[in-house]
């Protein structure tokens, strides 16, 4: 039969099931792992960042040195028709940069080398030096055309033309100054002066025609001859591309600061409105013509080889800024570690402090602590609250028991005292009926005292049991015979059903007292024509004894209290009809002393079943 449990309660095993992520050990390990991961990550990040920054800095410095070498050699090639005089420049560059510098022809014929003769070249060239085909992405100042702007060739102005243009530029500069416009004069590699305002724009955009008569921007005789030659070189390519070049000059002026270093003539203005492919074809023809025009004036293409040189490579050393970063990162990691540890410690200590304060509170207050977590501290708080509740309940039971004992003892003592005083005063003559009543009150008083003595002995652990092999069928028969008269008087059928093989190792007197209390309780609550059944069976290593009745039953909310002391299912019953309220408590204590358990189950209106489960014994002479 299934037994009901108290509402709202959970089995102890269920309360001990803590989620893995909520366990205290897992949380501490997680915090330690988090701190370790943060420390390792911070150290690794700092090392990678510092090393990467240092390497990038060194690589940037090396790349800047390489670019400066390439730029200077490209400038030499743009201003010299050959490499015959580059040795001196090469030695100066090598001494200034600490690099080994070597120049060869495209077929690896040595042109110049800063290293001693016979020193092998590096396996691969670092770059190519060609002023007509410069690397526009690494060569500072190079034009999109790929021609070094220092390669001017036939556009190089003689001294007379330079002086004339310088005078014109000086005049225009003073003219702009009178209008409050600040203009600077810069010279291009060809020697032509160029005016620019503070924003780097052309001051002609201000519209001051009096300051710019057009003479400064007009080509000089030298530039006109070079532009005519450029037109002649570009026409065959333009005609081959299907462009009508005509015989007119294609480039009426030379603009060293403009794209591709030529002025946009009528032909190119017309082409600019055409499709992009036509413009690109025209630009390609002009670029090819300019390279052909400048080729006699520049040095031929060469291969540049760069080596380490004679300088010792600088040893990597952490800078003060990087040292400060290391110290700052370590301090930050330490601060985070302390903060996280402190936060975890506070969360762990707070409930323990609450438990300590609650434990130190006065006992009569029965203080409880809030349960806010599901970890070990939460279970400890639940156990503390359960202990407090149990202590409060025991205190209430103690007070109730004292009150009940006083009440149970007061009633018979009051009756005995009252009748004795009446007889002493001569008001009533003693007769057999009165004496029987006084004797009955004395028996009730003695029974209560005996029950209390048994309970006290059981609570103190001093209850003596005289165990012996006990056949259960015989035990049930003795109990039924002892209560047969009471059962017949109440017109209740008393039935025993026992397995002959069931034996107990128990105290027969105490077991008859246990079953007698249960049968007496069943007879009191079973109406006429009802049945009380005593059964015994073997269940594995246990002997199961039951006392079932067909009485009124017990309400579900009262079942957990049936074994409490001085508890009665019907509060209106007196001690004669409802008993003293100690019988079932004695049943539980005596069964527990035998190592067994007592359970009650009931359905209101159907009856109740009290089940005793005790360790089974063996019959004398049988092997266990």
pLDDT, tens digit, for every residue of 485-528?
A: 889 989 999 999 988 989 999 988 888 888 988 998 889 889 99
Q: How far apart are CA 439 and CA 419, in angstroms?
A: 12
Alpha carbon distance, N-terminus to C-terminus of the chain: 29
Range 276-284 contact pairs with CB under 8 angstroms and sequence separation of 24 or more: 278/241, 278/243, 281/241, 281/243, 282/238, 282/241, 282/243, 284/237
Q: In this structure, are residues 161 and 306 in contact, taking their beta carbons and an 8 Å threshold? A: no
Give the per-residue pLDDT at 7: 39
The pLDDT score that the predictor gives to residue 61 is 58
Q: Would you state the pLDDT for residue 572?
A: 44
Q: List alpha helices for 179-275, DSSP H.
A: 221-240, 266-272
Element (H, E) at 534: strand 531-539
Phi, psi at residue 91, to the nearest 5°? -65, -40
Q: Is the pLDDT assigned to residue 138 strictly greater than 80?
A: no
Quote the distance between the C-alpha of residue 171 and its chain's center. Answer: 75
Query: What's phi and psi for 256, nearest 5 deg?
Result: -65, -20
Q: Which of 607, 615, 617, 597 is nearest to 533 (CA)?
A: 607
pLDDT at 270: 55
Read out DSSP for 126-174?
Answer: SEEE-TTS--TTTSTT--TTS--TT--GGGPPPHHHHHHHHHHHHHHHH
* pLDDT band with cut points at 50, 70 and 90 for residue 531: very high
Whole-angstrom CA distances from 535 to 354, 492, 499, 515 are 52, 17, 8, 11
Sign (positive or negative) of CA dihedral 45, 50, 53, 58: negative
Range name among 6-15, 49-58, 175-184, 491-500 with the lowest pLDDT average: 6-15
DSSP string, 329-361: HHHHHHHHHHHHHHHHHHHHHHHHHHHHHHHHS
Angle at 178 between CA 175 and CA 181, to 5 degrees: 85
Q: Which of these, 502, 509, 534, 537, lies nearest to 520 by C-alpha position?
A: 534
Is the CB of residue 547 less than 8 Å from the CB of residue 609?
A: yes
pLDDT 10s digits, 38-73: 777 777 777 777 776 665 555 555 677 888 888 889
pLDDT for 152 beyond 80: yes
Q: What is the pLDDT of residue 98?
A: 83
pLDDT at 248 over 50: yes
Residue pair 440/504 in contact (Cβ under 8 Å)? The answer is no
DSSP string, 63-126: HHHHHHHHHHHHHHHHH-SSSTTHHHHHHHHHHHH--EEEEE-TT--EEEESSPTTPPPPSS-S
Give residue-wise pLDDT tens across range 357-393. Answer: 888 888 777 777 887 777 777 788 888 888 888 888 7
Torsional sign, CA 207, 210, 211, 217: positive
Q: Does the pLDDT at position 603 exceed 70? A: yes
**In degrees to the nearest 10, what's the CA dihedral of 40, 42, 45, 46?**
-120
Least confident piece of the model among 26-30, 91-95, 115-119, 605-609? 26-30
Burial level of 623, CB count in 10 A (0-12/13-18/19+)? exposed
Assigned token pair, 375: 């970890």
Query: Which token pair is 98?
Result: 């600490």
φ, ψ for residue 165 (rounded to 5)? -70, -35
For residue 576, the model assigns a pLDDT of 45
CB 587 within 8 A of CB 517: yes
Instruction: Tell me the C-alpha distance between 497 and 513, whole Å.
Output: 19
Distance CA 588, CA 578 (A): 18
**80 vs 112, 150, 300, 453, CA distance in Å?**
15, 10, 10, 130
Alpha-carbon torsion angle 185, 186, 192, 196, nearest 10: -60
Burial label for 292, CB within 10 Å (0-12, 13-18, 19+), is middle
Q: Is 216 exposed, middle or buried (0-12, 13-18, 19+ CB in 10 A)?
A: buried
Q: Report d(CA 398, CA 608) in Å as an integer.
A: 28
Could you tell me the two tokens for 18? 């803590």
CA 408/CA 202 separation, integer angstroms: 122
The set of residues, in sequence order, having a beta carbon less than 8 Å from that of 355 and lying 6+ positions away, is: 369, 380, 381, 384
The mean per-residue pLDDT over the stretch 170-199 comes to: 85
Quick count: other Cβ atoms within 10 Å of Cβ 500? 11
Q: Tokens standing for 8?
A: 């709202």
Q: Which residues contact 429 (CB under 8 A, 6 or more apart)?
A: 423
Element (H, E) at 395: helix 376-424
Q: Rounded mean pLDDT of the chain?
A: 77
Helix, strand and coil percent figures for the chain, each rounded to 5: 55, 10, 35
DSSP state of 544: E
Helices (H), 1-85: 12-15, 24-79
Spatial separation of the C-alpha atoms in residues 200 and 610, rounded to whole Å: 109
Confidence grade of residue 255 (pLDDT, cut at 50, 70, 90): low
Q: What are phi and psi of 506, to 5 degrees?
A: -150, 170
pLDDT of residue 547: 93
User: What pLDDT, in 10s, does the model give residues 260-279?
Assistant: 445 445 555 555 455 555 77
Residue with tokens 């005089």: 85
């Amino acid at each position: 039969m299934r037994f009901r449990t108290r509402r709202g309660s959970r089995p102890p095993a269920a309360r001990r099931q803590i989620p893995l992520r909520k366990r205290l050990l897992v949380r501490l390990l997680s915090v330690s792992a988090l701190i370790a991961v943060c420390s390792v990550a911070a150290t690794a990040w700092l090392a990678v960042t510092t090393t990467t920054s240092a390497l990038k800095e060194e690589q940037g410095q090396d790349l800047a040195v390489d670019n400066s070498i390439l730029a200077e050699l490209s400038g030499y090639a743009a201003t010299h028709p050959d490499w015959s005089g580059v040795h001196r420049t090469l030695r100066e560059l090598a001494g200034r940069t600490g690099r080994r510098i070597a120049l060869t022809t495209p077929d690896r014929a040595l042109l110049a080398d800063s290293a001693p003769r016979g020193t092998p070249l590096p396996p691969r060239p670092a770059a190519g030096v060609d002023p007509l085909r410069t690397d526009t992405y690494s060569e500072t100042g190079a034009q999109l055309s790929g021609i070094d702007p220092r390669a001017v060739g036939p556009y190089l102005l003689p001294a007379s033309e330079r002086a004339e243009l310088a005078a014109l530029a000086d005049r225009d500069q003073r003219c702009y100054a009178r209008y409050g416009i600040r203009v600077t004069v810069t010279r291009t590699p060809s020697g032509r002066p160029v005016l620019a305002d503070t924003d780097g724009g052309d001051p002609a955009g201000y519209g001051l025609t009096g300051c710019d008569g057009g003479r400064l921007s007009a080509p000089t005789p030298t530039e006109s001859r070079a532009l005519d030659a450029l037109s002649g070189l570009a026409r065959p390519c333009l005609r081959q591309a299907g462009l009508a070049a005509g015989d007119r000059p294609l480039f009426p002026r030379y603009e060293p600061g403009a794209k591709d270093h030529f002025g946009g003539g009528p032909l190119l203005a017309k082409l600019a409105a055409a499709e992009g492919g036509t413009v690109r074809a025209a630009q390609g023809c002009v670029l090819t013509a300019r390279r052909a025009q400048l080729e006699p004036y520049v040095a031929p293409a060469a291969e540049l080889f760069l080596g380490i040189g004679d300088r010792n490579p600088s040893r990597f050393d952490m800078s003060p800024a990087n040292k400060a970063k290391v110290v700052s990162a370590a301090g930050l990691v330490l601060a985070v570690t302390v903060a996280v540890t402190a936060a975890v410690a506070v969360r762990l200590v707070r409930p323990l402090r609450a438990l300590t304060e609650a434990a130190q509170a006065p006992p009569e207050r029965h203080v409880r602590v809030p349960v806010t977590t599901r970890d070990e501290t939460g279970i400890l708080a639940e156990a503390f609250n359960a202990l407090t509740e149990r202590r409060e309940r025991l205190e209430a039971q103690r007070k109730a028991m004292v009150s009940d004992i006083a009440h149970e003892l007061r009633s018979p003592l009051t009756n005995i005292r009252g009748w004795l005083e009446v007889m002493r005063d001569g008001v009533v003559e003693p007769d057999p009926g009165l004496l029987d009543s006084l004797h009955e009150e004395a028996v009730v008083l003695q029974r209560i005292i005996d029950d209390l003595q048994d309970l006290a002995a059981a609570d103190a652990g001093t209850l003596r049991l005289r165990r012996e092999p006990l056949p259960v069928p015989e035990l049930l028969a003795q109990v039924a015979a002892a209560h047969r008269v009471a059962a017949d008087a109440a017109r209740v059928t008393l039935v025993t059903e026992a397995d002959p093989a069931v034996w107990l190792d128990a105290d027969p007197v105490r077991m008859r007292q246990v079953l007698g209390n249960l049968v007496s309780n069943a007879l009191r609550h079973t109406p006429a024509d009802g049945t009380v059944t005593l059964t015994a069976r073997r269940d594995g290593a246990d002997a199961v004894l039951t006392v079932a009745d067909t009485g009124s039953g017990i309400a579900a909310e009262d079942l957990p209290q049936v074994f409490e002391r001085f508890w009665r299912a019907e509060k209106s019953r007196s001690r004669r009809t409802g008993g003293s309220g100690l019988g079932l408590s004695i049943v539980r204590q005596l069964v527990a002393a035998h190592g067994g358990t007592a359970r009650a189950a009931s359905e209101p209106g159907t009856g109740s079943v009290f089940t005793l489960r005790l360790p089974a014994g063996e019959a004398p002479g049988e092997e266990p």
